[in-house]
Amino acid sequence: MSTTAFLTDSTLCIGCKACEVACKEWNQISEDGYEWSGHSYDNTQAVGHSTWRHVKFVENPVEIGLGGNSGEQLPAWGFSSDVCKHCEVAGCLEACPTGAIVRMEFGAVFVQPDVCNGCSYCVVSCPFGVVQKNEEDGRAFKCTFCSDRQKAGLAPACAKACPTESIKFGNLEELRLEAQLRVKELEARGIHDAVVYDPLDTSVKGIHALFLLRGDPRSYNLPPHPEVPTTYMKKGWTSAAIAAGVMLGATLLAFLGERR
Amino acid sequence: MLPKLLSRWPLVRQIQTGGDGTGPEVMTERTHTLGPRTNGAQVARSVCPYCGVGCGQLIFHKDNKLVSIEGDPESPISRGRLCPKGADSFELLTHPHRELKVKYRRPFSTDWEDLDLEVAMDMIADRVWKSREKSFVETQDGQSLMQTKAIGHLGGATLDNEENYLIKKLFTGGLGMVCVSNQARI
Amino acid sequence: MAENHPVGFQWVMEARHKGAKVIHVDPRYTRTSAMADYWLPLRAGTDIIFLGALINYTLTHDRYFREYVVHYTNAPIILREDFRDTEDLGGIFSGWDKEKQAYSPETWLYEGAPSADSPSGEKAGHSQAGGGHGKDRGGEAGRLYKYNDDPTLQNPRCVFQVLKSHFARYTPELVERACGIPKEKFLQVADVFISASGPEKTGAICYAVGWTQHSKGPQIIRAAAILQLLLGNIGRPGGGILALRGHATIQGSTDIPTLYDILPGYLPMPFFGSDSQKLESYIKKHGSETGWWANFDRYIISLLKAWYGDAATQSNDFCFNYLPRVTGDHSHFGYWLDMADGKMEGLFVMGQNPGVGAPNAKLQRTALSKLKWLVVRDFVETETASFWKDSPEVQRGELNPKNIATEIFFLPASGHAEKDGSYTNTQRLVQFHEKAVDALGDNRSETWFVYHLGRRLKAKAAKEPTPRNAALNALTWDYNTHGKHGEPVVDEIDGEINGYRVENRTLVSGYRDLKNNGSTACGCWIYSGMMPAPDENKARKREPHGLYGHGWGYAWPSDRRILYNRASARPDGKPWSERKKLVWWDEEKKEWTGHDIPDFTKKKPPDHKPDKDARGDDALAGDKPFIMHPDGTGWIWVPSGLKDGPLPTHYEPLESISSNPLYPEVPVNPVAKKMERPDNPYAFEGGDARFPYILSTYRLTEHHTGGGMTRYLSHLAELQPELFAEISPELAAELDIQHGEYITISSARSAIEARALITARIKPLLVEGRNVHQVCVPYQFGYKGLVTGSVPNDLLAISEEPNVRIMETKALVCNVKRGRLPQGKAGLEVWKEEMRRPA
Amino acid sequence: MSRVPLPEVPNRLPDVESERRLNEIRRTAAQSGMVTAKGVTPVGAPFPQASPETGYYGVPLLKEPQWTKEVPLYFFVGGAAGAAAVIASAAHLFTQDDDLVHSARWVAAAGGILSPALLTLDLGRPSRFLNMLRVFKLQSPMSVGAWTLTAFSSFSAAAAFANAIRQKLDSTPVYVLENIAGALATATGLVMASYTGVLIGATTIPVWNNNIETLPPHFAASGMNSAVSILELLGHENSRSLNLLGMAAAGYESLEGLMLETKRTRINEPLRKGKSGWIVRLGGVLSGPLPLALRIAYAITGNKKLRRAASWSSIAGSLLTRFGWVQAGHASAKDHRIPLELPESVPKVGMSSHELADMHMKMA
């Protein structure tokens, strides 16, 4: 089976949140609470254990005459549907001590709910703040990439529901290419601020949920340089080894002095 | 026995395969056999009950129970897609706040009480009959009127065409009710 | 459209991808604006000025599609000499009867078209009692197939020239002054839209039903229709005007109406009066001599046969007198006000929630307390069902359950997966939804409810065979039932709707089979053909093919996907262009053919010239695509059928911050009804200092109408969990409002509270040299459900537009101030205080 | 109630003056996306922003650690136990102080038993801890730690058990067993004392991963500091070696504290500011300079009270250090500016949802 991926194209997203609901319906996840945030129309705030797809709303200056498809300025209202990135090198996957998190044959990073023990080490290992422990249930949850559906050859629920094909689902390399072509196409249409978010040059080595956005990805809470925490490990273990050695030496030395 | 037991320990499989603990060697039976819960379900072809676009829906059901509601990819209108409301149709039909019992409120009462459905139907028929008897006008100025204005109907525009047909036929054609209205104006 | 019809919007996105330009005109910058190429905000309620200016621009720049206009519209037709325009009379058309506050449409007729004679003197389509549905029978007021025309469009009295002068003052400057759209922005957009015209191009106008919710709503749509006719965009692929309707079968609910003034298939209810005593005079009044409506008699007689069966015979006028007569305004608002005055006893509310969803919701709820009995059928205990228990009126002490005599029955209703049935979508497409599972508990479908209620009532009537019970006794009600709950067989109902031959009950294959002698029965003629055989319900069909999805469901009439598609071919029958071909004349086979089913008599050649005394469809020439009209033309000018004028004219909303810039003497639509009374008061006309801001309501993607189908659902409720009001940063600064804090919004009817969502997407508009602020509130909250909030519809007034009795919801006036609305009685005091301020 | 249209604009509508002001406000709003006119509160803009300057309405990008209080407690216990195992072996090797060996073995063993218990408390039920042993993942410090802990618990328990038997029955096999188990417990104990630094360092939490090089020695020193102190309080207050070790550990902790105080980076802010800052600082003082001074004073004066005070201080400091670092992790995760690489300081824009909620609490 080839590696599958999402390409979430913000220039086609109408912010309807169908993905968010379709995801919750299919995966039978509970609501997030009924808090009004005042952050434009975004009341679910971020992906987490009970929100696996999440639509972000970004407001920019408005000008009479200009719709969001105009290239003259950033769209006055931008939407982008966030999701687990299913990183090429995934922090959560590396960190999981139980083997609960696995890489499926189609590349998804999947938390096996029957194994996860809720150690929540994955929570602090995700550079995108995706995976989260459900405190009531005691286990960690995140987007499964609809692995149950994918196993049967079905598209993930969010991509299927998306009314405007803003969420494309398909082969990773094909979508990577498509994203580049789309940026070129937008260029040709006079939209010069479109970018593809796919951190290939960081230790994450690319993601399986690509995003096409207009403007700075940081407005959409996407980090410029996400790093997999394992990159820090070498330094850490070296330093731990030295510390252990020094500690052993110092102890021996201290007691050696007491030898009669 | 023991080797078999040991082979169920992912660590052993990990050592055998040389895996790094993220692949098939650590997957459980559940993960290996994962599949959509719509597997083996029956499918009814349906239409979204929310707005007027009329998106196609597939209703998956098993043993007289709903399993899932999804867009119908064959629909030339919606091509399998749904909006957030349409995508939430399953919850619409299964949420815990849906009423499943008749509720009756006596005049001047401060609370609901239970009522049997058939009894309720009889009582409603009695009320309709009494109000109609009292208010029905057969003629006015020697011209046929055949009308009652004492009973009204207000229908939602999510009622089926067949339902509307029966309502109009019985209420207007049979009972002579003229105060029959609907969300649909234009 | 992206907001409320996201899935339909995919086609707009696809068109955009193929190079179409998307223009969005809305007071708010919405999710649709975000996808559009151009966004223009306008002052709510000034739509006709905007559209009028587009019309004016099209005419003055000679950008109309001349060949289309000359052949297919009534632009060349010459009008009567005694017609006077609003431009001549300062805001009213000729025919105004000041006493009756109504128009006589006589002078609007074509020159040479004799007025139809009517014993009652009342013109069909202009009946005071009528609610105006089914007006496209058209032309009943006169014999409109007789007219004089000037194909050069030069005659000063031809429709074209009258149109030109009528809209001459609708200039870009006026748009800037009155709508608040800068002139150059308007001109830029006007040029883009008007370019979508001609043989190679088309443009479409899509609107949500909010556009109709104005005191001149249908005239707004008319203005759009005029523009589209001028640009040749009707009946052609990629053209048209698409109403994006808000409910699953709101189209079906007018086709097979539960409305007071029409019968199924847009046949008018008999209005009380001398010309409705006999079937013959009724047919004469409402039928038409030419055009498709000449078949009117077949349809009404077949309907009577379907309802009254064997009892309906030639000798008793097919039981025509069993039908009740309409004596006045029995529409929702008409009878609701009667209810408020204690004039009604009982009410059925099925699947609607007027306690939240209807204007002046406070009055809607309070009126219910005057009923003897009320039956509510819904999924959940709606605000309507529980008005006596936990409404704001109860909290404020205005209502006390202990004093409310209303006996209430709440019956839970089945959902779409629990019953068989069909919906008609916004494109007239009838689609069947199959039953998947049995309904739980006491849940039943409306067919079950009505059928079994009818059974009980018929049993009572059978015991008392009095004249008043004759209709009930004759009513055909012999549907078979099936299943656990004894549900009526829906296909049998569809068979009756489709129509059958009385003698052997075989189904007819379409409305062309229907007869006027009682040998056929048909429940709704426009749906005839949907079920030509017992095992062939086309609404169930799921085999789409071709460009237009034929084979999927059934689009009435006759499975035509684009109405009046004869207009997609040139007068000589050839497609306008290869790119835009849809239906054309096949010279070899001598018949119309194409990608869609031709909306035209198949064998009628393009060069058909009618005989002098031809009647019906034969009377229409081969180049007249608009077959439902007696003259076969697309109506730029409406000679008969509209109560407020043959052309759209700008009037201010019933509540406005400004006076009418065009006609200072006639501020609002003179025919609109304000239904003003103590429980439905208004702000002063022309600017009321107490209410300096425009109030507009709208729907959110995440909720559905009054919220009964969404506010109880966790996955939707969490997405929009609280009522908010969108205001501009400028207004917030002026009123010192902080983002997210509660504000109190008041109108002449009531006061509500909402969270302030301050956003630059709402722009103050420069209107008549001053900044005008618009306050936009989603109307979908109430006091029941997982997420609750004030009921914004409490702020709105009940009003009736004259043609279809629709209310004005998009343009009213309000005041805004910081702080919450106190609970209970104190809240009422706050509103009273607002009202006492100097006007 | 209708009346003739008003000839003039009603006075409630904006007059010329306020028109001018509004246009001014509108211009500012268009330029900066925020309104700063006088009288507009809060300072900044009237609505929250999502932009390259502010991030996404200030919503944190990273998730906060979701460990319970048992986890930092485990860091402390595990660290102390690991260090105790090292002390036991060293003492066994080089001294005749069997009491000390005995105590140290028992402290190590007790820690080895307490640690999995604490982790089980964090996870909810025992079977969940066992899941850690399904696989061994070198790339996961948590997996390495879990296996190390399991080994350490076994070895330290075995060593303590053998030690207990040896007290009654001094036979060679028991002696050998104790030595082997003790050596293995020492080896794993060294990892126990230092790996938790890698554990939190190899995460996405900026304040942790930014200090990954200093965390293992910091935690190791802290573990040693507390192990020494516990043993002292258990009655081994005469051991000069322990005092020396205590001085060394406290000395290192003092250096660490100095380093943290001087490395005033934005990422390290949670170590200096706020609740976590206070805990870390207090922990630093209590485990660094204070016990160091007390121990030196003790070495000079021989006043055992001073040494006892140093022990208590070290234990408290060591505990606080672990809690402080975890707390700092929370604060760091909440700071969206670091992972988004936003400019250090911008004017406060709008209100956070927290502030909004507070405001509404007050208003309600």
Q: Residue D127 burial by CB count (10 A; 0-12/13-18/19+): exposed, middle or buried?
A: exposed
* Residue C367 pLDDT grade (very low, low, confident, very high; cuts 50, 70, 90): very high
Task: Give CA separation, C590 vs C573, C587, C601, C609, C807, in Å.
Answer: 11, 5, 12, 16, 49
DSSP E strands, C400-480: 407-412, 421-424, 429-433
pLDDT in tens, C441-481: 999 999 999 999 999 999 999 999 999 999 999 999 999 99
Same domain, A206 and A218: yes
Contact: C346, B81; criterion CB under 8 Å: no
Mean pLDDT, to the nearest integer, of A226-234? Answer: 96
Which tokens belong to A114? 């029957």
Q: Which of D132, D134, D137, D150 to mutate to test the interface with B (most CBs of B within 10 A)?
A: D134
Q: Does the pLDDT of residue C653 top 80, yes or no?
A: yes
Strands (E), chain A: 4-9, 53-59, 77-83, 101-103, 109-111, 132-134, 139-141, 167-171, 194-197, 209-214
Let me know whether A167 and A245 are in one domain. no
Task: Based on the fold, state whether residues A180 and A258 are members of the same structural domain.
Answer: no
Average pLDDT of chain A, as a whole number: 95
Q: What is the mean pLDDT of chain D?
A: 85
Give the Cα-Cα-Cα angle C344, C346, C352 (nearest 5 degrees).
Answer: 110
| Domains in chain C with CATH codes | 6-74+162-244 (3.40.228.10), 565-625 (no CATH), 693-836 (2.40.40.20)
Hey, where are the domains in chain B? 2-32, 42-94, 103-133, 136-186
How big is chain D, counted in residues? 364
Predicted confidence band at C817 (pLDDT cuts at 50, 70, 90)? very high
Per the listing, tokens 């069902």 go with C385
Residues of C in contact with B161 (CB under 8 A): 249, 252, 255-256, 421-424, 430, 497, 527
Question: A touches which chains (3+ CB pairs under 8 A)?
Answer: B, C, D
* Contact call for residues D115 and D153 (beta carbons, < 8 A): yes
| pLDDT range class, residue C144, cuts 50, 70, 90 | confident
Judged by a CB distance cut-off of 8 A, whether residue C753 touches chain D is: no
Instruction: Provide the sign of the torsion angle of the four alpha carbons C375, C381, C383, C386, taken in this order.
Output: positive
Q: How many Cα neighbours within 13 Å face the side chain of A77? A: 28
Contact criterion met (CB < 8 Å) for C689 and D13 = yes
Residues of C in contact with A66 (CB under 8 A): 38-39
Residues of chain C with Cβ-Cβ distance to A36 below 8 Å are 721-722, 724, 740, 755
- pLDDT confidence of A99, banded at 50, 70, 90? very high
- Residue C42 burial (10 A CB sphere; 0-12, 13-18, 19+): buried
- The pLDDT, as a whole number, for residue D46 is 58
pLDDT band at C135 (very low <50, low <70, confident <90, very high): low
CB under 8 Å to C341, separation ≥6 — which residues? C370
Show residues of chain C in contact with D354, CB under 8 Å: none
C693–chain A nearest CA distance, Å: 20
The rounded Cα C246 to chain-centroid distance in angstroms is 11
> How far is the C-alpha of C156 from the C-alpha of C325, rounded, in Å?
43
| Strand-pair partners of C501 | C520
Contact D25/C730, CB-based, under 8 Å? Answer: yes
Contact C114, C141 (CB under 8 A): no
* Neighbour-count burial of B8, counting CB atoms closer than 10 A to its CB (0-12 exposed, 13-18 middle, 19+ buried): exposed
SS3 state of residue C431: strand
Write down the pLDDT at residue D34: 47
Identify all chain A residues contacting D63, using CB atoms and an 8 Å cutoff. Answer: 48, 123-124, 126, 129-132
Q: Give me the torsion for CA of C128, C129, C131, C134, rounded to 10°.
A: -90
The CATH code belonging to domain D64-202 is: 1.20.1630.10
What confidence category does residue C133 fall into, taking pLDDT thresholds of 50, 70 and 90?
low
Closest CA to D108 of D72, D176, D162: D162
Query: Distance between CA atoms of A189 and A69, rounded to whole angstroms?
Result: 10
Q: State whether residue C611 sits within 8 Å of chain D by CB.
A: no
Q: How far apart are CA C509 and CA C500, in angstroms?
A: 9
Residue ranges making up the domain that contains A101: 4-227
> What value does the mean pLDDT take over residues B75-95?
97
Answer whether B26 sits within 8 Å of A102, measured CB to CB: yes
Residue C38 sits at φ, ψ, to 5 deg, of: -130, 140
Phi-psi region of C781 (alpha: psi -120 to 50; beta: other; left: phi over 0): beta
| Tokens (6 digits) for C217 | 């709503």
Give C285's pLDDT tier (boundaries 50, 70, 90). confident
Structural tokens at position A116:
């996860």
Of the pLDDT bands very low, low, confident and very high (cuts 50, 70, 90), residue A259 is low
| C-alpha radius of gyration, chain B, whole number | 29
The confidence score (pLDDT) of residue D23 equals: 54
Count the helix, strand and coil residues of chain A and give each as a percent rounded to the nearest 5. Answer: 30, 20, 50
Amino acid B184: pLDDT: 81
The highest-level CATH class for domain B42-94 is mainly beta
Look at B28 and A112 and tell me if their CB atoms are within 8 Å. Answer: yes
Which of B42, B47, B108 is the closest to C405 by Cβ?
A: B108
Phi, psi dihedral angles at A6 (to 5 degrees): -105, 145
Contact by Cβ (8 Å): C532, C495: no
Integer CA distances (angstroms), D218 to A198, C563, D146, D320, in order: 37, 80, 20, 13
The beta-carbon neighbor of D5 closest among C664, C742, C771 is C664
- Best of D24, D26, D36, D354 to substitute, by most chain C Cβ atoms within 10 angstroms, is D26
Decide which of A128 and D30 is more confident: A128
Contact D137 B21 (CB under 8 A): yes
> How many whole angstroms separate alpha carbon C364 and alpha carbon C339?
9
pLDDT above 60: residue B67 = yes
| % of residues, chain C, pLDDT over 70 | 99
The low-confidence residues of chain D, meaning pLDDT below 50, are 1-15, 30-31, 33-45, 346-354, 356-357, 360, 363-364
Which of D12, D14, D47 is facing C729, going by the closest CB pair? D47
pLDDT of amino acid C435? 97
Confidence of residue C687 (pLDDT cuts 50, 70, 90): confident
- The per-residue pLDDT for C137 is 63
User: Does residue C139 have a pLDDT over 80?
Assistant: no
Cβ-based neighbours of C329, under 8 Å, separated by 6 or more = C129, C131, C335, C800, C805
Kindly report, residue by residue over C28-60, the tens digit of the pLDDT: 999 999 999 999 999 999 999 999 999 999 999
Nearest to B173 among C431, C471, C552 (CB): C471
Residue holding tokens 């007034």? C797
User: Which of C29, C709, C711, C753 is best to mutate for the A interface (most A CBs within 10 A)?
Assistant: C29
A8 and A37 housed in the same domain: yes
Q: Please, which pLDDT band fits residue B49 given cuts at 50, 70 and 90?
A: very high
Domain at A116, CATH number: 3.30.70.20
Residue C736 has pLDDT above 90, yes or no: no
Give dist(CA D14, CA C773) in Å, integer: 10
Residue C18 has pLDDT above 70, yes or no: yes
Rounded to 5°, angle at Cα C374 from C212 and C797: 30
Task: Select the residue of D129, D190, D201 nearest A232 (Cβ to Cβ).
Answer: D201
CA angle (C19, C220, C358) in 5-degree steps: 110
Q: In terms of DSSP bridges, do strands B56-62 and B65-71 run parallel, antiparallel, or are they unpaired?
A: antiparallel
Cα-trace Rg, chain C: 27
C44, C48, C49, C52 alpha-carbon torsion, rounded to 10°: 150
Tell me the CB-side half-sphere exposure of residue A84, using CA atoms within 13 A: 33
Distance CA C424, CA C426 (A): 7
Tell me how far apart the 2 most distant CA atoms of chain B are, in Å: 101
Residue D249 to chain A, least CA–CA distance (Å): 9
How many other C-beta atoms lie within 10 A of the C-beta of residue A97? Answer: 26
Residue C11 in tokens: 């086609």
When divided into structural domains, chain A yields a total of: 2
Helix D304-334 crosses helix D240-262 at what angle (to 10 degrees)?
A: 30
The pLDDT, as a whole number, for residue C294 is: 93
